[in-house]
């Protein structure tokens, strides 16, 4: 199969949100700590009627409807998530309700889990299936769904929630350049969820930042070297039109792009001009370890990278800044932002993607974009996602309401035998919501 990749996308996020500015005031931290320090504008959160299952039911149903895809045409369904609702029963099986109704139970795939990387694993599984001898000609469907919530403390403002559905097949407008894929995987305790009674992760924030940047460096080096072997010429940042990063919070994305710039400087590529070389020269003798701790390098490289960052990264930062970390959905929400901002002008462009999941697993890969044929065209994908309208029609809540919700959810996590308020007044028509968890922990949903 040729040009296997993403044919269509849908994104869903809760309509309930809170401004980071108001959280700063509420938490009594210095002004700008979340908005400038973390680079975040707003945070979306699930109330008691929404969870990763309802969000993914909504995203999948909406994608199938809007593209008029018969559920019988789906041959593989893969879910990426790190939000544990059940230690055995996959989220994928909940989504089977949509397909069973239409008489299609012949669908491969289950869930993939490793922090924020599960969505990428799910995507690779689907792409590999379409490219393999097992492919039966039907579409693959990938779902990334997470609710990112943290205990009180410095990580709490990085929370968020969303689900993304992606239709996979050949002749895609968003095609994988499958040869250029580079990974780094290792054993570290930077962010993990060992306490099965709690939804909150244990997180070593500083370590997770460094692990992310180390993984980025290694993936980029390997990506470049694979490119060079296959294409017979050096890869530099000039060879990609956009860079899209997993986005736990925007500041880390700024640091990541600066880091790639420093890499290109060390590799002496044509993407770094004389003025930039001069500024970065004092740091050329730092050891790898030193370079991650050096604040001056961080500042100077961010400054050198800034004009290029505005052009090649900013268009992908909208949704992650407005919603917060969406774990598995974060990278693809960033990509959705790029489609929203640039749609058909992306025709012919190369986009480099960096996926990171703590623990750790990381891959850099690339897409080659082409406008494509309606309905599977870049402009139609942007239209259907309707990101601007979805962001505009959200409802803002004060921090007190957010904290109250977090407390209720702590109580509900792992609980049975309760009914929710069934209050779906804020949800858009067509949205799924949780109504009840019965005495056997069975979950029930309704559609507005």
Binding site listing: 208, 251, 255
Considering CB under 6 A, how many residues would be counted as binding ligand ACO?
23
191 part of the interface to ligand ACO, by CB under 6 A: yes
Which residue lies nearest ligand ACO, judged by its C-beta? 37
As a whole number of angstroms, the distance between CA 431 and CA 190 comes to: 35
Residue of 81, 158, 380, 431 that binds ligand ACO (CB under 6 A): 158
Residues with Cβ within 8 Å of residue 279, at least 6 apart in sequence? 300, 303, 304
As a whole number of angstroms, the distance between CA 448 and CA 436 comes to: 15
Residue of 21, 36, 345, 447 that binds ligand ACO (CB under 6 A): 36
Residue closer to ligand ACO, measured from CB, 20 or 337: 20
For residue 93, what are its two tokens?
A: 């099986």
203 part of the interface to ligand ACO, by CB under 6 A: yes
The residues that are catalytic are: 82, 116, 246
251 part of the interface to ligand ACO, by CB under 6 A: yes
For residue 149, CA distances in Å to 42, 82, 216, 249, 402 come to: 14, 11, 24, 13, 11
CB atoms within 10 A of CB 86: 14
294 part of the interface to ligand ACO, by CB under 6 A: no
Q: What is the nearest approach in angstroms of ligand ACO to the Cβ of residue 331?
A: 10
152 part of the interface to ligand ACO, by CB under 6 A: no
Residues with Cβ within 8 Å of residue 359, at least 6 apart in sequence? 114, 115, 187, 188, 190, 191, 192
Residue of 55, 74, 142, 155 that binds ligand ACO (CB under 6 A): 155
**Could you tell me if 173 and 372 are in contact, meaning their C-beta atoms sit under 8 angstroms apart?**
yes
205-234 positions binding ligand ACO, by CB under 6 A? 205-206, 208-209, 212
Q: What is the nearest approach in angstroms of ligand ACO to the Cβ of residue 151?
A: 11
DSSP letters of 175-217? EE-TT--EEEE----SEE---TT-SSPEE-HHHHHHHHHHHHH
CB atoms within 10 A of CB 384: 16
Residue closer to ligand ACO, measured from CB, 109 or 201: 201
Q: Choose one: 103-111, 153-161, 284-292, 412-420; the region binding ligand ACO (CB under 6 A).
A: 153-161
Q: Choose one: 55-63, 78-86, 247-255, 389-397; the region binding ligand ACO (CB under 6 A).
A: 247-255
Q: What is the nearest approach in angstroms of ligand ACO to the Cβ of residue 22?
A: 15
Q: Choose one: 48-56, 201-209, 307-315, 419-427; the region binding ligand ACO (CB under 6 A).
A: 201-209
Bridge partners (DSSP) of residue 443 are 437
Binding-site residues for CoA? 208, 251, 255
Residue of 1, 25, 32, 100 that binds ligand ACO (CB under 6 A): 32
For residue 273, what are its two tokens?
A: 């001009």
Q: What is the nearest approach in angstroms of ligand ACO to the Cβ of residue 316?
A: 16
Q: How would you class 440 by CB atoms within 10 Å of its CB: exposed for 0-12, middle for 13-18, buried for 19 or more?
A: exposed
As a whole number of angstroms, the distance between CA 75 and CA 60 comes to: 14
């Amino acid at each position: 199969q040729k040009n296997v990749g993403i044919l269509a996308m849908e994104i869903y996020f809760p309509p309930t949100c809170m401004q980071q500015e108001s959280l700063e005031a509420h938490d009594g931290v210095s002004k700008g700590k979340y908005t400038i320090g973390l680079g975040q504008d707003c945070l979306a959160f699930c109330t008691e009627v929404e969870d990763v299952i309802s969000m993914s039911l909504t995203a999948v149903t909406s994608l199938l409807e809007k593209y008029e895809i018969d559920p019988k045409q789906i041959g593989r369904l893969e879910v990426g998530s790190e939000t544990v609702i059940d230690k055995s029963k996959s989220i994928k099986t909940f989504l089977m309700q949509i397909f069973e109704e239409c008489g299609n139970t012949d669908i491969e795939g289950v869930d993939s889990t490793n922090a924020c990387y599960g969505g990428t694993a799910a995507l690779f599984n689907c792409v590999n299936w379409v490219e393999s001898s097992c492919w039966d000609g039907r579409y693959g469907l990938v779902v990334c769904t997470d609710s990112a919530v943290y205990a009180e403390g410095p990580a709490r403002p990085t929370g968020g929630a969303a689900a993304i559905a992606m239709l996979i097949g050949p002749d895609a407008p968003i095609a994988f350049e499958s040869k250029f894929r580079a990974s780094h995987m290792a054993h570290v305790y930077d962010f993990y969820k060992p306490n099965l009674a709690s939804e909150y992760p244990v997180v070593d924030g500083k370590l997770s930042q460094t692990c992310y940047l180390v993984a980025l460096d290694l993936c980029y080096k390997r990506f470049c070297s694979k490119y060079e072997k296959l294409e017979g010429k050096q890869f530099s940042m000039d060879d990609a039109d956009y860079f899209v990063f997993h986005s736990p919070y925007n500041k880390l994305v700024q640091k990541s792009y600066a880091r790639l710039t420093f890499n290109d400087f060390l590799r002496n590529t044509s993407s770094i001009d004389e003025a930039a070389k001069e500024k970065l020269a004092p740091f050329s003798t730092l050891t790898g370890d030193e370079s991650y701790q050096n604040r001056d390098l961080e500042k100077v490289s961010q400054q050198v990278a800034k004009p290029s960052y505005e052009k090649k990264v900013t268009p992908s930062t909208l949704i992650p800044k407005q919603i917060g970390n969406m774990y598995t959905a974060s990278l693809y929400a960033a990509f959705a932002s790029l489609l929203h901002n640039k749609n058909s002008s992306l025709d012919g462009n190369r986009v480099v993607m960096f996926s990171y999941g703590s623990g750790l697993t990381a891959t850099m890969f690339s897409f080659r974009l082409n406008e494509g044929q309606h309905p599977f065209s870049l402009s139609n994908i942007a239209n259907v996602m309707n990101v601007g309208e979805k962001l505009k029609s959200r409802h803002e809540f004060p921090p007190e309401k957010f904290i109250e919700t977090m407390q209720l959810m702590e109580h509900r996590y792992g609980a049975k035998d309760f009914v929710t308020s069934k209050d779906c007044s804020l949800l858009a028509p067509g949205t799924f919501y949780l109504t009840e968890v019965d005495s056997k922990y069975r979950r029930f949903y309704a559609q507005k």
